[in-house]
Structure formats: structure tokens, C-alpha cells
Amino acid sequence: MLQHVLVIDEELPWPANTGKRLRTLNLLTALSQSFRIEMLVHENGATPEARAAVKKRGITVHVAPSRIPGRSGPGLPLRVAASLARGLPYSVYSHHQTGYAQTLARLLETNRYDLLHCEWTPYAIYALDRRLATCIAAHNVEWEIWSRTAETERRRLHRWLFTAQTSLMRRFEQNVFSRFEHATAVSAADASRIGEMGCRHVTVVPNGVDASLYLPPATESAPPRSLVFSGSMDWRANQDAIRWFIDQVHPLLVAQGDYQFHVVGRSPPAWLQDSSRVPSQIIVTGAVDTVQPFIANASVYVVPLRVGGGSRLKILEALSMGRAVVSTTVGAEGLDLEPGIDIVIADIASDFAAAVSTLWLDAPARQRLGRAGRARIERQYRWEQIAPLQVAAWTAAIAG
């Protein structure tokens, strides 16, 4: 009989249009062959289509009568103030809902689960007092993201708030990882930091890609002076990346001639949709049905991230499609890639622009990088190669 696992998370991983959703969906789909999996989420986004897509993959869905508050609106300042008063990071406070906690308690009372899996570190708050075997999935070391965000923030009040969130999240993660013995991390660097916070058994389960869906184009037809970036544009780190590109890199590129840059991702902020603030060369698409055509139609994929943690599924998708990638060190963090062979790394704006310009002019170099990147994916980053690592992590947590 298959061992029984309850996964708790914020939302169903459908549509699979963010890095977290892609990772969760692919891993749970693979794991459903080895475990009996149920999943508890809030009402947000739990549409009939999403429920059907997840159920089709062999996963039983439970939806709690609770909703996660929005990331904006008139009530946000009060919620942030309340989280500070409670001494909880905002991402923990806003996701800790009574209806969700009650539904979880009912499920645990009426079913015998072998493992409770928290598919995001903030959800460990629901497991702090449980005696059930537990595994925490750390998609990032969250306090580091807040710290980097504070470092790059220029507005004084925002910098103070981000610094406060850094402190609260560091304390929360320290508490969580010192109390739970089993966790997964997406990179060796993250695993080391989680271990330093007290977790005894941390399994590295890297991000991956469905290499059968992200294929190199049959023929190369991308305009030579073209770029693409893909990622959820409601994530602050991606917004910061594009703002830095516009302010620092764009002037250097456009001085050499016209070009085109597609920024592909859902929910771009208002300023990024304002034509008076965004150069005409930069096309912001918003949500798209599929990102592959945009990646295929760019000669270079760029990752100008200055804030973040974990590792980037977006880079793996680009490499799988045989694209040349220029990234900052932070952007490529956590991936086992060789600079100059699989990817080009540049952290200063002038170096970033020079790397892009060089690749625009050197088609053989772009092709070499693209072939090396695809080969790296084939060797190391297919989901079917990664899923057994998560199976091992769950098996070890259940065994104790």
C-alpha cells in the first residue's frame, strides 16, 4: 500500500505559469506514482479547471474556506502593521488563516497520514505543534531575499520595512528549521544555510525542466538584436531586475542601435505598463498562453536579477531551448553551470551590455552556448532525473 502524504500549500499549481507552480506540479505528478498524495489549498485560484488538472495527475484536492489577502489595496498597511505587532513575517501572517487551520485539523483527525509536507516555508506555521512526520520544502532561504531587497531599495520607509521583514523572517526560519529534522532545498548553498539554522537532514532537490516541451527551434529565425526575459512580474525581484535593466543597461544598448526586448510575465505593475516610463524598445506582454514562442524568437535570453534566492527555472527553460543566456551572478545562483561554457555572467551594467552586444554580433558563439546549455539540461536537469531525490527525502522523513 502506498504511503499517505498530505501536502499543504497556498494554491493549486495550475495554470503552471510561475516557477513555483511548475516545480510543484512536476514533482507532485512524478511523486504520485510512489505515494498517495492529497493537497490542501486556499480558495484563491482553486477554479474547477485547476482542480481538474491536479486531480488528473492522481492528487486528491481539498479546498479550505479561506482566502489569502491581496498584495495591494487599502487594507495592506493595516495588515503589515498587524504582522509587525504579532512579530510574524508578513508572508506568514497573511497566509495563516483560521478556515485553513480548521480544515487541516479536520483532515488530520479523520485520516491517517504518514507525512505532512509543507510546500513553502511559511506553511510550517501550521505544523509547529504536530507530532506527524514533516518535511519542509524551501524554495528559497526567505530571509536572504528580504535582505537583498532591503539592500537595493532606495526609498527610506520601504527599506526600513524590508529590513524589519528580514529580521522577522530570519527568526521564523531559525525556529522552523531548528524544530524540523527534514527539509528540501533547491541548491547546495540553500541547503548549507538551512543546515546552519538547525535542520539535520536537508536534501538538495534542484529545479528542473520538461525538456520535451522546451525544445530548440527547428530553424533559427530570431532577429539578431533581440532579447527576452520571462517571469512573474508581480514578484518584486523581477520588477527590480527590469527597472535596473531600463535604468542602467538599456541606454548602453540603444546607443549602439535599435533593438527589441520582450518582458514576458503575468501581472506587470502599473509603472511597467506606462509608455512614458518604459522605452519603446521594451515590450511588456503581460500573461501569455505559452512562453516558448517568445524564447524561440529572441537571440539572447537575459536574467538581470539583483535580488532572489534558490535557483531559476527561467534559465533552465532558456537553456533547454538552446538560447544563449546572459545573467547576473544572483540570477544564475544555485545552478550548476559553467560560466563561459553554459552561460555568460555579468554583474556590472557595462559588462552586461557588452556581453549582450558581443553575442548579438557573434552567431557561432550564441550557437555554442545554446548547444552546451541544452546538453547540460539533458545530463542533469530533467524532472525525471530530479524526482527520485524528492522520493528519497519523503521516504527518509517518514522513516524518521
Identify the CATH class of 226-380: alpha beta
3-class state of residue 322 by DSSP:
coil
Q: What is each CA distance from 191 to 31, 168, 263, in whole angstroms?
A: 21, 20, 31
Give the integer Cα–Cα distance in Å for 396 and 390.
Answer: 10
Give the integer Cα–Cα distance in Å for 123 and 135.
Answer: 11
Tell me the domain boundaries of the chain: 3-208+383-399, 226-380
pLDDT tens string, the chain, 400 residues long: the values are: 899 999 999 999 999 988 899 999 999 999 999 999 999 999 999 999 999 999 999 999 999 999 999 877 888 889 999 999 999 999 999 999 999 999 999 999 999 999 999 999 999 999 998 989 999 999 999 999 999 889 988 899 989 999 999 999 999 999 999 999 999 999 999 999 999 999 999 999 999 999 999 999 998 889 999 999 999 998 889 999 999 999 999 999 999 999 999 999 999 999 999 999 999 999 999 999 999 999 999 999 999 999 876 568 999 999 999 999 999 999 999 899 999 999 999 999 999 999 999 999 999 999 999 999 999 999 999 999 999 999 999 999 999 8
3-class state of residue 270 by DSSP:
helix
Please name which of 355, 308, 346 lies closest in space to residue 327, comparing C-alpha atoms. Answer: 346
Predicted TM-score (pTM) of the model is 0.90
Pick the CATH number of 3-208+383-399 from 3.40.30.10, 3.40.50.2000, 3.20.20.70, 1.20.1090.10: 3.40.50.2000
Edge to edge, the sheet with strand 226-230 lists 282-286, 260-264, 226-230, 300-303, 324-327, 344-345
Same fold, 3-208+383-399 and 226-380: yes
72-78 long-range contacts, Cβ below 8 Å, gap at least 24? none
